Amino acid sequence: MVAEMNVRELSISKNDRTSMPASANSKLLTLPTILTLGRVAAVPLLVATFYMDGWRGTVVTTSIFTVAAVTDWLDGYIARKLKMKSTFGAFLDPVADKLMVSATLVLLCTRPLEVAVFGQLPWLLIIPSITIIGREITMSALREWAASQGSKLLEAVAVNNLGKWKTATQMAALIILLATRDCGHGGPAILVGSGVVLLYISAGLALWSFVVYMKEIWKVLRR
């Protein structure tokens, strides 16, 4: 998933689209696209297993999300390495990321953390979750608008290093929180705390990168 909820951010300029080989654009189901579709199909499974009682549910849910995060990186790598890029895949990839990350954030917010020190703070995960999801919705709208305005604005909202760091910390945080959500008192508190801290770092990076994008857009509009 590289998972800005993605989640990795992806935008393709008009020049990129025209430079793609015709064969790449004409193929609807390439290997990277199939991997991306697999992430979309995994969202209902993630929801179903999240509410399974016992450690098995926790293991299965965490495994589903971890595999999704790996395939998020893998489909992009394969598409670049084997020159299997497609416009459909470019559209679907960020959608799959946002679905998986948003669903996971919402699920985590429905259950308070089991560790005592965090259990009395029901808003602890809600704040960064709203920040991340709200930012993703806003960026999707911005990119859609930028695509209709020309390549200059698309370049302004292209993926930057802040977005990549946001996605990395976000994925790490969610894997930790999913893996430790049913842990009790004691040792796991350190792991849960690290997951919460990483989620807040991810939310901070999300806001920071959003500000950077807006500054770039403003520069283009002022020219």
Mind listing the pLDDT tens digit for each residue in 167-179? 999 999 999 999 9
Alpha-carbon distance 216 to 214, whole Å? 5
Alpha-carbon distance 95 to 92, whole Å? 5
Alpha-carbon distance 186 to 180, whole Å? 12
Query: Is CATH 3.40.190.10 correct for 30-111?
Result: no
- Condensed to tens digits (0 to 9), the pLDDT of residues 88-124 reads 777 888 889 999 999 999 999 988 776 666 667 778 8
Sign, CA dihedral 190-191-192-197, equals: positive
What are the structural domain ranges in the chain? 30-111, 113-222
CB-based contact 220:201 (threshold 8 Å):
no
Residue 161: is its pLDDT beyond 60? yes
Mean pLDDT, rounded, of the chain: 80
Amino acid at 19: S
